[in-house]
C-alpha cells in the first residue's frame, strides 16, 4: 500500500451539513473546472461555453496592455539623447541649411529653409558656447561667427525669393508718384508719353487685358498706371507658376522708371533757362544793363508786374540781384509779394520787414510786434517800428507804446512816430507824458509830431503850450497847431 494512502481504520471527522445560504456561497466560490482537462476516470470533460462579456473584457484588457506598451515605448523614445548645442553641431546644421538653400527651387522650398534657419537661430540663443579669450585680441567669438553666417544665409534667402506681383505693383505706384509730384518742363511732359504707352502695351500682352491711354497729360498718365496696378493685382500671379510673367512685368517697370528719370525736369534747367521758359527776358528789346536780369527788373517794376520779379528773386542766387529784387518789391508795395516777404521776415530779414511795411497787410502785425519786445537789437526794432507804423493797425498800439520807455533814444523816437502813423487816440496820454518829460529833445519833437498826426482836439491841446519850447523842433510842431 502506498505511504500516502489514508489509514482505513482511522475514522474521518464528521462534518456538519452547511446551511442553504452557505452552501450556495460555497458553490459560487468553487473554482470552475479548467478547460481541456480530464476527469478522475480519464474521461474528457466538456468545455463550458464562453461568455461573450468575458470575451469583450479580454479584448479590452489586451488593448490596454498594447497602449501601455506603446506608452512605454514613447517614454523610451523621449529618453533618447538630445544632440548637444555645440559650435560643431550648429555649424553642421548651417551647412545643411546652406545646401538646402542652393537646391531650393520653389517658394515652399524657401519656406522650409526659412523655418530651419529660425530653428537654428533659436538654438543659437540657447547654446552655451565658449567665450573668446579676453587676453587674446585675435581670438574669434564662435557665437558671433555663427550669427554672422546665419544672417548671411537669411539675406541670401530673401534675395532668392520672388519676384512677386507685389514688387510690380509697388514699382508702378512709384512711377505714378514720380509723374505726379515732379515739375516737368514742356519737353519733359512730352517725353513721358512713350514709355508709359510702352509699359501699358506690355501689361496688356502679359495679362491679356485691354488698357488704353486716356490722354497725354501727366494726370491721364497717372490714371492709366493706376489701372495697370489694379490689373496686376487682379491677375493673382503666383511666384512659382507665373514667374516668367512677373519677371517680364518687373523688367517693364524698371524700363519705365529709367525713362522717367531721363525725362526733362524743371530742376534740370539752369537759372537762365528757367527764367527764359517763363518769358522773363521777353521784355528786353536790347541789353542795356548788365546783368540783363537787372534791366528786366526795372521794366517789370515800371509796369507794376511783381510776379516776374518774384520769379527772379526765387531763381537768382546772387546777393546783388536779391537786393535789387526786394528793393523793387518794396517800392511797388504789392500784396502779391506778401508771402515771399513774410518767409524772409520770419528770419528777421530787415529788407523784407521794410517791404512788409510798404505792403501794409495787417497779417504781419503779430509777427512784427514780437520783434520789438525788450531792448535787444535796436536796429531791428527801428526797422520794425517803422513798418508797424506804416501798416497802421491799432492792434500794434500797445506793443509800440511799450517802447516809449526804451533805453535807446532812437527807439523811443521811432516808437512815438509809429504811434502817430497808427493814429490810435489811446496813445495821446503816453505821448503827452513823453513830450513833457523825456530828456531827449529829438524824442520830444517826435512825440509832438505824433500828437499832430493824431489830430484830435485833445491831442492838439497837448502840443500847443510848447510854442516857446527850448527845442526848435518842438516849437515848430507847436506852431502848427496855431
| Whole-number pLDDT of residue 184 | 95
Give the CA count within 13 Å in the CB-facing half-sphere of 25.
4
Cell numbers representing residue 246 in the block: 512677373
Q: How far apart are CA 253 and CA 173, in angstroms?
A: 10
pLDDT in tens, 338-394: 999 999 999 999 999 999 999 999 999 999 999 999 888 999 999 999 999 999 999
The yes-or-no verdict on residue 106 having pLDDT over 70 is yes
Q: How far apart are CA 389 and CA 387, in angstroms?
A: 5
Q: How far apart are CA 288 and CA 299, in angstroms?
A: 11
Host H or E run for residue 98: helix 87-103
Closest residue by Cα to residue 380 from 352, 340, 422: 352
Query: Class of 377-481 per CATH?
Result: mainly alpha
The yes-or-no verdict on residue 311 having pLDDT over 90 is yes
Q: How far apart are CA 41 and CA 195, in angstroms?
A: 114
Cell numbers representing residue 43 in the block: 474521461
| Whole-number pLDDT of residue 74 | 47
| Whole-number pLDDT of residue 289 | 63
pLDDT in tens, 404-428: 999 999 999 999 999 999 999 999 9
- For the chain, the domains span 165-268, 377-481
Signed CA dihedral, 203, 205, 209, 210: sign only = positive
Mean pLDDT of 150-172: 89
For residue 81, name the pLDDT band (cuts at 50, 70, 90). Answer: low
Radius of gyration (C-alpha) of the chain in whole angstroms: 52
Each as own residue / partner, the long-range contacts of residues 192-195 (CB below 8 Å, 24 or more positions apart, any chain) are 192/218, 192/221, 192/259, 192/260, 192/263, 193/221, 194/259, 195/255, 195/256, 195/259, 195/260
| Whole-number pLDDT of residue 201 | 96
Q: Strand, helix or coil at 38? A: strand
Of the listed ranges 26-35, 121-130, 195-204, the one predicted with least confidence:
26-35
Calculate what percentage of the chain has a pLDDT beyond 70: 82
**Phi and psi at residue 161, to the nearest 5°:** -75, 155
Residue tagged 517791404 (cell numbers): 355
Of the listed ranges 83-87, 178-182, 305-309, 340-344, the one predicted with least confidence:
83-87
**DSSP state, 85?**
-
| Whole-number pLDDT of residue 290 | 73
pLDDT in tens, 241-286: 898 999 999 999 999 999 999 999 999 999 999 999 889 999 987 6
| Whole-number pLDDT of residue 8 | 42
pLDDT in tens, 33-46: 444 444 444 444 34
Amino acid at each position: 500500500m502506498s505511504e500516502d494512502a489514508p489509514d482505513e481504520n482511522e475514522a474521518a471527522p464528521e462534518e456538519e451539513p452547511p446551511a442553504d445560504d452557505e452552501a450556495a456561497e460555497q458553490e459560487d466560490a468553487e473554482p470552475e473546472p479548467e478547460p481541456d482537462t480530464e476527469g478522475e476516470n480519464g474521461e474528457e470533460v466538456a468545455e463550458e461555453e464562453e461568455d461573450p462579456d468575458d470575451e469583450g473584457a479580454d479584448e479590452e484588457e489586451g488593448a490596454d496592455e498594447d497602449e501601455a506598451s506603446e506608452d512605454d515605448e514613447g517614454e523610451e523614445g523621449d529618453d533618447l539623447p538630445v544632440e548637444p548645442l555645440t559650435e560643431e553641431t550648429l555649424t553642421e546644421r548651417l551647412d545643411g541649411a546652406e545646401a538646402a538653400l542652393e537646391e531650393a527651387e520653389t517658394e515652399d522650398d524657401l519656406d522650409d529653409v526659412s523655418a530651419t534657419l529660425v530653428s537654428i537661430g533659436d538654438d543659437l540663443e540657447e547654446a552655451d558656447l565658449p567665450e573668446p579669450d579676453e587676453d587674446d585680441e585675435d581670438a574669434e567669438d564662435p557665437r558671433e561667427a555663427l550669427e554672422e553666417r546665419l544672417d548671411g544665409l537669411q539675406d541670401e534667402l530673401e534675395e532668392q525669393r520672388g519676384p512677386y506681383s507685389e514688387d510690380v505693383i509697388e514699382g508702378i505706384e512709384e512711377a505714378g508718384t514720380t509723374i505726379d509730384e515732379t515739375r516737368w518742363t514742356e519737353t519733359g511732359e512730352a517725353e513721358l508719353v512713350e514709355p508709359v504707352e510702352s509699359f501699358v502695351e506690355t501689361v496688356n500682352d502679359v495679362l491679356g487685358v485691354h488698357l488704353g491711354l486716356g490722354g497725354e497729360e501727366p494726370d491721364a498718365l497717372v490714371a492709366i498706371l493706376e489701372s495697370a496696378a489694379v490689373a496686376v493685382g487682379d491677375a493673382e500671379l503666383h511666384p512659382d507658376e507665373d514667374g516668367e510673367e512677373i519677371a517680364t512685368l518687373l523688367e517693364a517697370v524698371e524700363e519705365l522708371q529709367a525713362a522717367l528719370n531721363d525725362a526733362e525736369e524743371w530742376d534740370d534747367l539752369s537759372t537762365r533757362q528757367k527764367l527764359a521758359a517763363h518769358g522773363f527776358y521777353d521784355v528786353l528789346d536790347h541789353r542795356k544793363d548788365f546783368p540783363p536780369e537787372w534791366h528786366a527788373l526795372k521794366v517789370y517794376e515800371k509796369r507794376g508786374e511783381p510776379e516776374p520779379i518774384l520769379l527772379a528773386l526765387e531763381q537768382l542766387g546772387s546777393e546783388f540781384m536779391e537786393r535789387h529784387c526786394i528793393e523793387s518789391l518794396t517800392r511797388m508795395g504789392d500784396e502779391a509779394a506778401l508771402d515771399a516777404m513774410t518767409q524772409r521776415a520770419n528770419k528777421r530779414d530787415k529788407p523784407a520787414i521794410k517791404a512788409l511795411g510798404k505792403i501794409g497787410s495787417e497779417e504781419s502785425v503779430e509777427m512784427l510786434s514780437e520783434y520789438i519786445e525788450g531792448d535787444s537789437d535796436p536796429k531791428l526794432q527801428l526797422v520794425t517800428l517803422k513798418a508797424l507804423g506804416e501798416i497802421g493797425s491799432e492792434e500794434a498800439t500797445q506793443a509800440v507804446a511799450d517802447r516809449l520807455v526804451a533805453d535807446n533814444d532812437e527807439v523811443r523816437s521811432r516808437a512815438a512816430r509809429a504811434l502817430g502813423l497808427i493814429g490810435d487816440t489811446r496813445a495821446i496820454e503816453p505821448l503827452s507824458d513823453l513830450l513833457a518829460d523825456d530828456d531827449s529833445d529829438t524824442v520830444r519833437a517826435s512825440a509832438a509830431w505824433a500828437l499832430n498826426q493824431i489830430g484830435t482836439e485833445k491831442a492838439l491841446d497837448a502840443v500847443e503850450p510848447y510854442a516857446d519850447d527850448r527845442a526848435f523842433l518842438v516849437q515848430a510842431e507847436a506852431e502848427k497847431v496855431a
